[in-house]
A and B are shown apart, each in its own frame.
Chain A
Amino acid sequence: MTLLKRLAEQDRPILPFTLDGQPASGLLGDTLLTAVLTQAEHLRGSDFSAQPRAGFCLMGACQDCWVKLGDGRRVRACATLLEAGLVIEREPGRRP
């Protein structure tokens, strides 16, 4: 299942990427948040209960859309544009 629904601008070049080790694809101009949430339901687990989170504000304020990239960087998914071949890992969060 997916969270976001594309309504417009669907005729764009396809960009392959890797999500949690699995092949996935998004479109040129997608943020990481859009690319992930048009094929999955969450972005990260919360730090204190591992409950699923999928961002909230989309403007860099809530800090609830951080994902890890293949090179070890952690980025806000709402403010980072997808690039071909990007490796995205969703962190599971921590249980109490």
Chain B
Amino acid sequence: MSTVIVGAGPAGIRAAQTLLHYGIEPLLLDEGLRGGGQIYRRQPANFKRSAKDVYGFEAGKATAVHQAMDALAEQIDYRPQTLVWNAEPGQLDTLCDGHVQRIGYQRLIVATGATDRILPVPGWTLPGVFSLGGAQIALKFQGCAIGQRVVFAGSGPLLYLIAYQYAKAGAKVVAVLDSAPFSAQVRAAPALLRQPATLAKGLYYRSWLSARGIPVHSGAQVEAIHGQQRVDGLSFNNGQLLDCDAVGFGHALRSETQLADLLGCQFSWSALNRSWLPQRDELGRSSVDGVYMAGDGAGIMGADAAQLAGELAALALLSDSGVAIDPARPKQLLEQLANIQRFRHGLENAFPFPTQWAADTADATLICRCEEVSAGDIRQVVAEGHWEINRVKAHCRVGMGRCQGRLCGAAACELVAHSSGRRIDEIGRLRAQAPIKPLPFGIEVDS
């Protein structure tokens, strides 16, 4: 029986460091090939680009996380490429290299991170369309652009960062289409000044793009991505056509909460994140004894906050285990987190969720790319009288496919709420099922 951390991103790594500092060696499980998480995704060992080349302004932070990971790997049981696919009180089911293993735990820190939040448009399943995060991973992790002529669309701070990274790396960026009106960003400026360095970077990316003649459209509404076998264009704002062969798109991020769900954690509605999130106290304790939450997996706050939350969760775990911790430290961390939280509210105002998306989406638009369920299919189920999201799933299979609603869940909930005339927090929460990702046939079971 032991202390286990799931996820080796900024939160999980900091949590592991903190536990180790107090003499507890956690077991660190991570699905990735190399630790570091997604925003600091690490390139393969034989790649030669400098951290500055790959991470720009964040090179120092990324390098610190990677060095911390390397030091941990020497000292603790770190298992990369290990998927936790099921969780029950006191035990986790893992898959690594075709082998299934059941691992017991006394205390658990869940640091499962986030993925892009997707609001589908016609043509989004075409080859050449990738999530914003995916487009960034192609560049950081593989040294590739997603195409020859790339459009970035959607919203959120990642939009400008990725466009900048692509253009700087020599890719042709055709345009940046931000669904948020520029006025929203101006109104949000006071809150964004809570993190002046971060705000300055955002403004820098935007002006850098403009200075190089890359069109940046605010208030842009993507109508369709065109192509038969792959992307060959994109139309927006009443038929304006862009010639492109790739599109990166997404509307900010959503938390990966499946493990927290299987662990039986209570969830509550977060208006800020527009989603259900596992409840946690300010230190990261979930509603389940011995289970702690840290990082973007329990609400989107970004990598800096994830590190702070990872340390806090570890300190809470230590304190609950009877270990004497530095009593001044949690307060310091909470103050830093509060500052980021105010900035986070500013970001939500600067890049507001496009609430008109559900009303504007045509029936033919594919929502669920696994099961190929359209907006019209979902509306039909609602018209038959169903409005609870798990019931809707049972009737039309939206969210039932291989990805378990990671990509379509947010959009499906928007459609159900809109067409049933209910608030987004009134239609229930899409439940997670084990295995939380597909398992191959023919796995071997280790004792």
Take A4-B138, A49-B372 as given contacts and tell me if A56 and B407 are in contact as well, using a CB distance cutoff of 8 Å: yes
Q: What count of chain B residues pass the 8 Å CB interface test?
A: 56
Beta-carbon contacts under 8 Å, A16-35 to B:
28-31, 34
Smallest Cβ distance from B366 to chain A, in angstroms? 9
Take A3-B128, A7-B139, A74-B440 as given contacts and tell me if A58 and B134 are in contact as well, using a CB distance cutoff of 8 Å: yes
- Give per-residue flags for B111-137: 1 if the beta carbon is below 8 A from chain A beta carbons, else 0: 000011000000001111111011001
Judge whether B362 is part of the interface by a CB distance below 8 angstroms. Answer: no
Contacts of B116 on A, CB cut-off 8 Å? 57
Main secondary structure of the interface of A (DSSP, over half): loop
Q: Which of A41, A56, A59 contacts B230 (CB 8 A)?
A: A41
Judge whether A87 is part of the interface by a CB distance below 8 angstroms. Answer: no
Q: Which of B48, B130, B246 contacts A58 (CB 8 A)?
A: B130
Smallest Cβ distance from B29 to chain A, in angstroms? 14
Judge whether B169 is part of the interface by a CB distance below 8 angstroms. Answer: yes
Contacts of A30 on B, CB cut-off 8 Å? 142
Beta-carbon contacts under 8 Å, B344-360 to A:
none
A61 near B372: Cβ-Cβ < 8 Å: no
Judge whether B33 is part of the interface by a CB distance below 8 angstroms. Answer: yes
Q: What's the Cα separation between A78 and B134 when bound, in Å?
A: 10
Q: What count of chain A residues pass the 8 Å CB interface test?
A: 44
Judge whether B148 is part of the interface by a CB distance below 8 angstroms. Answer: yes
A9 near B130: Cβ-Cβ < 8 Å: no
Judge whether A86 is part of the interface by a CB distance below 8 angstroms. Answer: no
Beta-carbon contacts under 8 Å, A46-96 to B:
46-49, 51-64, 66, 72-74, 78-79, 81
Smallest Cβ distance from A12 to chain B, in angstroms? 6
Smallest Cβ distance from B159 to chain A, in angstroms? 16
Smallest Cβ distance from A84 to chain B, in angstroms? 14
B403 near A7: Cβ-Cβ < 8 Å: no
Judge whether B396 is part of the interface by a CB distance below 8 angstroms. Answer: no
Q: Which of B142, B230, B402, B438 contacts A3 (CB 8 A)?
A: B230
Q: What's the Cα separation between A46 and B126 when bound, in Å?
A: 11
B372 near A60: Cβ-Cβ < 8 Å: no
Contacts of A39 on B, CB cut-off 8 Å? none
Take A57-B116, A64-B369 as given contacts and tell me if A7 and B147 are in contact as well, using a CB distance cutoff of 8 Å: no
Judge whether B143 is part of the interface by a CB distance below 8 angstroms. Answer: yes
Q: Closest 8 CB pairs between A and B? A: A54-B127, A29-B44, A63-B402, A58-B134, A9-B143, A8-B143, A58-B137, A48-B372
